[in-house]
Amino acid sequence: MVTNAVQASGTLKTAGTPVLRIWITRDQDSLAIHVWDGSHDMPVLRETGPDQTGGRGLMLIETLSKDSGAYRDANGKVVWAVISAGADGP
């Protein structure tokens, strides 16, 4: 998620280093990860071949998390995932 946010922010017409925000919360059962970047372009699940070096981020998020998604805000977007810390988690 962070790599995708860096790449998305890097395409913006801004000076300097791409900006992103990461926040993590947890309770007894799960860990929630949110990553914000300044791009309004929503993530797209892609089919990838075995020789491709990228494009697997959303597939990994869907596989490893018990819930995930993305939403736009006024200044960009947030991609989030909830990972189970219980017996059914990774």
3-state secondary structure of 22: strand
Q: What is the pLDDT of residues 62-86, one digit of tens each?
A: 889 999 999 999 888 999 999 997 6
Confidence class of residue 16 from pLDDT cuts 50, 70 and 90?
A: low
Beta bridge partners of 73: 76
Element (H, E) at 77: strand 76-84
- CB 79: neighbour CB atoms within 10 A? 23
CB 14 within 8 A of CB 38: yes
pLDDT at residue 60 greater than cutoff 90: no
Q: What is the pTM of this model?
A: 0.80
Q: What is the pLDDT of residues 24-50, one digit of tens each?
A: 999 999 999 999 998 899 988 888 778
